[in-house]
Structure 1
Amino acid sequence: MSSGGKPEKVSVEEAMDRRGKGEFVRSATAFHDDITANGSGGFKAEANRYHLYVSLACPWAHRTLIVRKLKGLEDAISTTVVDWYMAQQGWNFTDQKPKCTKDPVYDAKYLSEIYFNVVPDYGGRYTVPVLFDKKTKVIVNNESSEIIRMLNTEFNEFCKTEDQKKLNLYPEHLKSKIDEVNDWVYPYINNGVYRCGFATTQEAYNAAVKPLFEHLDKAEDILSKTRYLTGNQLTEADIRLFTTLVRFDTVYVGHFKCNKKRIMDYQNIWGFVRDIYQTDGIAETCDQEHIQKHYQQSHLSVNPSGIVAIGPDIDFNAPHDRDKFSK
């Protein structure tokens, strides 16, 4: 059965062993409840009931912002954007930086307080995105791959337009193909860049960087034949790849040592990135200031000086010819 491209579940012993070898091992998310249109999942889809805590720097949170935007759910689901700088205590709230906002629920200083208000003895990581129920004061879900599927189908009543209501990013006839793509994009590309950047031995880095570029080559080949990863229809698979690619040349190439090739060196992937970026509403969810300052100021084990690089200059609005596949 497909994993849906979620973080792998490994035992504590295995994780410790792999980390001891210099590997980056991502922890699994902890909250996995469902919101459904009829409430059968335990939580009923309602306007102004749910709140998203996000970071504009984080590719996982970015997925949820894109789907929320494409489905026209901005008025139905509120958001709080955390500070781009992540201190030792984790994500924090501020209204002193562009697009950042204070916590409207608890007036918390740190995101960790949201977790502890829900589970006082919580022992996991304080990650974004967080889908929070303001009515019952609980965290519904903090797994982005599950959140985007809820936003895709369960809030259709609250979409602004009929086209947004009809938009389905995980259609029945493409589910198996989408799952298949997610199952290699997640470990080798989405998480692959982190496995490169946070590797602490040459062996761990080598083991991550080779399959990263092998699978970028695979994506390049697919996108030389079709507009999107599963054909000529935009799906969640494209969004999940895009949020890594839009960060690749600005932070992953230099900061995470993923410099074998830039995304701009891939003719079809680079066209694909511009195509997705220029899709109505998506550019509004992208913020390179948050992205570059978060990675380069927060990851002091990778960039001890915390100096933010000046470039590169990238024109995501440059013309592309991806629509040729739809003719």
Structure 2
Amino acid sequence: MRYFPLFYDLHHKPVLVVGGGDVASRKVESLINAGAHVSVVSPTLDPFLVGLYNTQQISWIKGFYQSHLIDEFIQIWATTDNPELNHRVHKDAKLAGIMVNVVDDTEYCDFITPSMISRGRIQVAFSSGGGSPVLIRNLRRTFEAVLPQNLGLLADFAASKRNDIKSKLPDVTRRRLFWEYFFESQQVKRAKDNVELQACYNTIVASNQFDPSYQVTWIETGRDFEMLTLKALSVMQSAECVLYEHGVEPVFIEGCRRDAQRDTWKSVPHLQHQLAIQQQNKCAVVVLIAELSPALQAELSLGCGEIKILRYARQSS
């Protein structure tokens, strides 16, 4: 992975865009949406940029680029159709220690911009490191079709309750479990306004349905990640602890919840010991097994009691 993904706060920060054409217009619009103070240096401006200038949404440095212009900015974009000029901007920015992006020229970029889906506060970013923009656009379209339209509403509501939920649930684990339960509620997923969300919030806070509890889900992964069932994937993403058999392929471990505790096991007695610890901690556990042989299932049943295992979806012969 060449690029480290991050979201950069440009609110009220000065950004310089070199070039006033169509490419600059697309970048300037995104920068304004992020709250940046944008200045454009160019002898002429695209009509879209003229409109932004006339409504005082950008500053216009009318003229040709000069190296001394970059001094007051924290980020530079070179968007002209002149590669020689763009590379000169890049050189000046590097000498000044300023982040620079030469559009459509990744070798001259300190950073690249991903393809984005925005739902209010929620931002989903896709990137191929500049290698396949068409593939990324197709991927974004796929996600855009399935992501709920009320994500922004949910995010705003959750942000408004940060202090309230801390007062009601001082324990950080209970707060996390509460929000997981809240966002999984079908009523919450269908909510169209804050009134509906507040009613769900009050009901769930008053219940004990989200309290920590010990539970174990056994998953036989197989060898093909794409053959996992949706139920198995859901459990893997919600478990607080992942205990994986020695030999389970890394893709299955990486497919589990990012902040879950993870540990391997090589024998049934070792697994028994780990499960006993998680039972005391009241954790939701997922146990990953590559292939469940009859002998291993018998040993697990003897050592860990009755088990019901989620199997991967086997291809029909």
Whether TM exceeds 0.5 here: the answer is no
Higher percent of residues as strand: 2
TM-score (norm 2): 0.25
Structure 1 length-normalised TM: 0.25
